[in-house]
Amino acid sequence: MSRRHLFAAIEPMQEPSIDFPVRQVTADDAEALSVLMLDAYEGTIDSDGSETIEVARDEVAGYFSGAAGTPMLTHSFVALADDRPISAILVSRHEEAPLIAYLMTAPSHKGRGLAGSLTTLALSSLLAAGEDRAHLWVTAGNEPAERIYARLGFTDTSGAR
């Protein structure tokens, strides 16, 4: 499974309309984000079938402890339904630029534009804070994610196809 490294210059964007309450992520969200992560990635190209809630907890704990760079919680957002996360974007500072470390949406809410809207919200927040570029890694062949990122101006710098 190859990964593509994508970069984008952050440009002004229209504020997204999101039909769910959205707020910034906090460390208190760790367990709920772990459950969301496991649910969101199950059965996708990013899953090899070995994922467990413990693995998801380790990934989320790693994000909060800086494994993917310094967490940028003021630019990380979660959309909620019935007070539980249904979509989230986790941003960190990695290699001198903001990194979209994780983007996830519950299967029950995919196809509603949440991932793209949260990414737009995060990028707009970063631009307002003076950032001019962002980067991320995506699994080659993850077509839904690749479409979102292409629409938002991310381009491949890794040479993977």
pLDDT digits (tens, 9 = 90+) for 16-54: 999 999 999 999 999 999 999 999 998 788 888 888 999
Contact (CB, 8 A) for 12 and 161: no
- Domains of the chain in sequence order: 3-156 (3.40.630.30)
**Type of residue numbered 74:** T
Determine contact, residues 132/12, Cβ cutoff 8 Å: no
Q: Phi and psi dihedrals of 43, rounded to 5?
A: 75, 10
For 105-118, what is each residue's pLDDT tens digit? 999 999 999 999 99
pTM, two decimal places: 0.94
